Amino acid sequence: MPAERLQKILSAYGIASRRAAEAMIKDGRVSVNCEVASLGSTADPEVDSIKVDGNEIAVKMQKVYLLLNKPRGFLTTVSDDRGRKTVMELVYDVGVRIYPVGRLDINSEGLLIFTNDGDFANKLMHPSNEKVKTYEVHITGNVTEAVELLKKPVSISENDNTQTVVVKAAGVEVISQGSKEAVIRISIIEGRNRQIRKMCTACGVKVLSLKRISIDSIELGNIESGKWRYLTEKEVKLLG
């Protein structure tokens, strides 16, 4: 693990907030490898001995679970070699290394889970858990016909269009409908790459916007776009 600023490490380990940690460092209460640290000092908690008031900080990293309302225009990845915006820019202030669980494409928005708990992430993503993911989708085209088609098995392309698979929505609900546009809710379990968009294309309609609003009983709620909140202990248990 690369070295990080001490105040970030103390925050990540649940010792104090970053501001309080800075005050501890200024007061000479923090040491690294038996030397009193100064503001701006860095360390690697997996290698260095970090003490607060003479007490070694816990080796085990605090587990973090949060929910972000992802806006459009952000890649769901930890980094991008082309310099594009990533979701990590929206959770920079968490104070601990976390990563997104699953994906939302750059033009999609809504509920995205982050954690530093590998076991939790693997359980959440594993198909055997059959988590129901619900999306609110604004479509345009022959919406009346498409809604009926979306309720049936749909063939979509995979692997750069070299293969096709048959998928079926777990649920389709019309929220509002006009002659050429509609807002619908589609629930799926498989979660294949761009599955909702491909299903809509196969059924003859274009997706104008797509937002994930829930995973099982965990709902996006009224969190502002680009903001996040911690999951409750109950929510973590429900998802894991």
Active site residues: 105
Closest CA to 23 of 12, 11, 32, 33: 11
Distance CA(26)–CA(77), nearest Å, equals: 35
Cβ contact 44:4 at 8 Å: yes
Interatomic CA distance for residues 201 and 146, integer angstroms: 9
Strand 65-70 relative to strand 154-158, pairing: unpaired
The pairs formed by 175-180 with CB atoms below 8 angstroms and a separation of 24 or more are 175/136, 177/143, 177/144, 177/147, 178/143, 180/140, 180/141, 180/143
Residue whose structure tokens are 């619908």: 184
Q: Which two tokens stand for residue 84?
A: 């594009």
- Amino acid in the structure at residue 206: K
> 25 and 31 in contact (C-beta within 8 Å)?
no
Please tell me the distance from the alpha carbon of residue 215 to that of residue 134, in angstroms, as a whole number: 6
Both structure tokens of 189:
């379990």
